[in-house]
C-alpha cells in the first residue's frame, strides 16, 4: 500500500514524514563539507600566530576584535557549508586566508650546528611532571567544533534551507548528522579516559580504583538520564514530532549518553585492554546482527513491547559503547603529558596508525563483506567510519598545531603562552561547558519549533533565527566560563 503524503506542511505528520526514508549523501561530499572545520582552525591558528609574532606585548589585550574574528573564522564557514550554500567559495576564501597569514609567521632561527640539542626539546623535557594531564589545545578545539556542528544541525534540519541529504538516514547510508552523532560519542570517549588514568596525589602516582570509577560514572550518568526521561515526558506532553525509528518510542540520545559512563567501568573490570575490547565488542555485535535472526528482527519487528519498541536505542547502545571505548583507547595515548619532545611528535605517528586501522577495518566491512554503515543500529562499518574520521581530524589538528607552534620561542614549548593563543575564547567556553551547551541547544530547538513554523520560513528569516539561536546557546557557556564554572 502506497504511503499517503501529508499535505499540511505545519502538521506533525508532515514534519515526521519529511525526515523519514532519507538515504543521505556520499562520503566524499560529507568530508568536503566538514573540511571547513579543519580549514577554519588552520586559518585561526595562522592568524593568531601572525598577530602574536607581530606584537607579543599587546597580544593579550585583544578584546572585542578577537571575539569578532573568532565568529567570522568559525561560524560563517559553518553556516555556509552546512546549508549547502557557497561551499567551494568558502573553502577558497579559507585557503586564501591561510596562505596570507601563514606567510606572516616568521620561521624559528635555524641552528648553526644541526647536531646540537634542540633548545625547544631541552625546555620541554625539563618541565615534564609525571602523572600530570594538562589541556591539549588541539583536542579542546576539536571537541568544541564537533559540539558546535551538532548544536547547529539539530535546529537547522527543521528549515528548508538545510539540505536533507545532510540529515540522518533511515537505516543504511551516511550523512553529516549521522557522523555528528557518532563524533559526539567518540570525542566523549577521548576525554572520558582521563578518569581512568594514573594521577599524582600528594607526590605519589596512584591509579583510580574500580569503585571510584563506577561512582564517578554514576554521577556523570545521573544528569543525562534525568534529561533523557524529562525529554521523553516533555515531547509526549506537547505532542512534539518524533522520528520513532531513530532510537525507539521511549528511548533517546540522552539515555544512551547516560548509560555509557556506567557500563564502561563495569566492562573494563572484565577486560582492561581498551582497543581489543572495543574491536571485539563491535565484531561480536556485527556477527550476531548479520548471521542470526536478530538482524531481521531489528529491521522489521513490530513495536509491541518495551524492547521491540526501543530496539534501535537498546541495540545501537552496543555499537556506541564500542565507539566510546575506541575513543578512550585513542585518548589514553594522547591525553597524558608527553615526557619528551620526541614522544610528543611520535604521537602523530600513533594517531595516524589508529586512523589506518580504522580505515582498513571500514573497507573490509563495507567493501569486502558488503555491509553498509547504519547509524540507526550503530553497526561495525558505522563505528569504524566514525573512529576513522575523528582520528583523522585529531591528527590534522595536531599537525597544524605542531607546525605553527614550532615557530614559538623555546621557553613557550610546553606552557606559558598568552591567553587566547592556544584556544579561541568562545570554543574554550564551549569545551569547558559542553553538557550545558548541548542541553541549552536542545531546549532552544524545541522552543523555536513551538514558536515558529520553521518549514515556512524564507532563507533570510531562517538565517536570522539560526544566528539568534547560536548566540543564545553560546551565551550560558560564555557566562559560566567568565564565572569560573565548569560543567563538562
Q: What is the pLDDT of residues 380-392, one digit of tens each?
A: 999 999 999 999 9
How far, in Å, CA of 474 to CA of 481, rounded? 11
Global pTM value: 0.91
CA-based nearest residue to 108, from 99, 118, 98: 118
3-state secondary structure of 445: helix
Tell me how far apart the alpha carbons of residues 374 and 320 are, in angstroms, rounded to a whole number: 12
Report the percent of the chain where pLDDT is more than 70. 93
Higher pLDDT, 444 or 19: 444
Closest CA to 137 of 474, 431, 341: 431
Q: How far apart are the C-alpha atoms of 149 and 153, rounded to whole Å?
A: 6
Look over the chain and give the mean of its residue pLDDT values, rounded to a whole number.
87
**Across-strand partners of 205?**
200
Amino acid 65: pLDDT = 79
> Mean per-residue pLDDT for 434-449?
90
Q: How confident is the model at residue 410 (pLDDT cuts 50, 70, 90)?
A: low
272: which residues sit within 8 A by CB, 6+ positions away? none
* Residue 28 pLDDT: 92
pLDDT in tens, 207-230: 777 787 888 888 888 888 888 898
Mean local confidence (pLDDT), 148-171: 92
| Partners of residue 174 on adjacent β-strands | 24
Neighbours of 455 (CB within 10 A): 15
Q: Could you tell me the three cell numbers for 7?
A: 499535505
The model's confidence at residue 107, banded by pLDDT at 50, 70 and 90, is confident
Buried b (16+ CB within 10 A) or exposed e, 204-236: eeeeeeeeebbebbeebbeebbebbeebbeeee
Q: Give the Cα separation of 351 and 354 in Å (integer).
A: 5
pLDDT at 1: 43
- pLDDT for res 422: 83
Residue 320 has pLDDT above 50, yes or no: yes
Task: List, for residues 181-205, the tens digit of each pLDDT value.
Answer: 999 999 999 988 888 887 776 667 7
Q: What is the mean pLDDT of residues 45-54?
A: 88
Q: Tell me: pLDDT of 12 over 80.
A: no
Q: 3-class DSSP state for residue 205? A: strand
Phi, psi of 204 (to 5 degrees): -120, 145
Provide the grid cell at 484. Answer: 569560573
Amino acid at each position: 500500500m502506497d504511503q499517503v503524503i501529508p499535505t499540511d506542511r505545519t502538521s506533525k505528520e508532515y514534519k515526521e514524514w519529511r525526515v523519514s526514508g532519507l538515504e543521505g549523501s556520499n562520503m566524499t561530499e560529507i568530508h568536503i563539507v566538514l573540511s571547513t572545520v579543519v580549514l577554519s582552525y588552520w586559518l585561526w591558528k595562522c592568524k593568531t600566530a601572525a598577530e602574536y609574532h607581530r606584537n607579543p606585548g599587546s597580544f593579550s589585550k585583544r578584546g572585542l576584535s578577537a571575539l569578532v574574528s573568532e565568529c567570522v573564522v568559525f561560524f560563517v564557514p559553518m553556516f555556509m557549508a552546512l546549508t549547502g550554500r557557497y561551499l567551494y567559495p568558502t573553502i577558497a576564501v579559507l585557503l586564501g586566508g591561510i596562505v596570507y597569514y601563514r606567510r606572516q609567521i616568521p620561521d624559528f632561527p635555524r641552528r648553526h650546528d644541526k647536531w646540537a640539542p634542540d633548545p625547544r626539546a631541552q625546555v620541554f623535557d625539563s618541565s615534564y611532571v609525571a602523572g600530570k594531564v594538562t589541556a591539549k589545545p588541539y583536542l579542546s578545539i576539536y571537541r568544541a567544533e564537533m559540539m558546535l556542528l551538532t548544536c547547529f544541525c539539530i535546529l537547522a534540519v527543521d528549515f528548508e534551507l538545510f539540505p536533507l541529504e545532510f540529515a540522518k538516514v533511515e537505516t543504511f547510508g551516511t550523512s553529516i548528522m549521522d557522523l555528528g552523532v557518532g563524533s559526539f560519542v567518540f570525542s566523549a570517549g577521548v576525554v572520558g579516559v582521563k578518569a581512568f588514568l594514573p594521577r599524582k596525589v600528594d607526590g605519589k602516582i596512584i591509579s583510580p580504583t574500580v569503585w571510584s570509577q563506577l561512582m564517578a560514572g554514576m554521577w556523570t550518568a545521573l544528569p543525562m538520564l534525568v534529561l533523557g526521561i524529562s525529554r521523553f515526558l516533555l515531547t509526549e506532553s506537547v505532542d512534539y514530532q518524533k522520528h520513532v525509528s531513530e532510537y525507539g518510542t521511549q528511548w533517546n540520545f540522552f539515555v544512551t549518553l547516560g548509560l555509557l559512563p556506567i557500563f564502561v567501568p563495569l566492562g573494563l573490570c572484565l577486560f582492561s585492554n581498551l582497543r581489543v575490547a572495543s574491536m571485539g565488542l563491535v565484531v561480536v555485535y556485527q556477527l550476531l546482527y548479520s548471521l542470526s535472526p536478530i538482524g531481521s528482527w531489528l529491521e522489521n519487528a513490530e513495536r509491541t513491547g518495551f524492547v521491540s519498541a526501543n530496539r534501535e536505542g537498546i541495540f545501537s547502545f552496543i555499537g556506541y559503547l564500542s565507539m566510546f571505548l575506541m575513543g578512550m583507547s585513542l585518548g589514553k595515548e594522547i591525553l597524558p603529558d608527553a615526557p619528551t619532545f620526541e614522544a610528543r611528535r611520535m604521537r602523530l605517528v600513533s594517531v595516524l596508525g589508529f586512523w589506518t586501522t580504522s580505515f582498513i577495518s571500514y573497507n573490509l566491512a563495507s567493501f569486502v563483506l558488503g555491509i553498509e554503515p547504519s547509524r540507526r543500529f550503530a553497526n561495525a562499518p558505522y563505528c569504524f567510519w566514525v573512529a576513522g574520521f575523528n582520528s583523522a581530524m585529531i591528527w590534522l589538528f595536531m599537525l597544524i598545531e605542531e607546525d605553527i607552534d614550532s615557530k614559538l620561542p623555546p621557553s613557550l614549548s610546553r606552557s606559558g603562552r598568552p591567553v587566547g593563543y592556544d584556544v579561541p575564547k568562545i570554543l574554550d567556553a564551549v569545551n569547558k561547558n559542553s553538557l550545558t551547551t548541548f542541553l541549552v541547544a536542545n531546549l532552544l530547538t524545541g522552543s523555536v519549533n513551538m514558536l515558529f513554523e520553521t518549514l515556512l520560513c524564507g532563507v533570510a528569516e531562517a538565517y536570522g533565527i539560526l544566528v539568534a539561536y547560536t548566540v543564545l546557546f553560546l551565551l550560558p557557556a560564555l557566562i559560566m566560563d567568565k564565572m569560573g564554572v565548569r560543567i563538562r
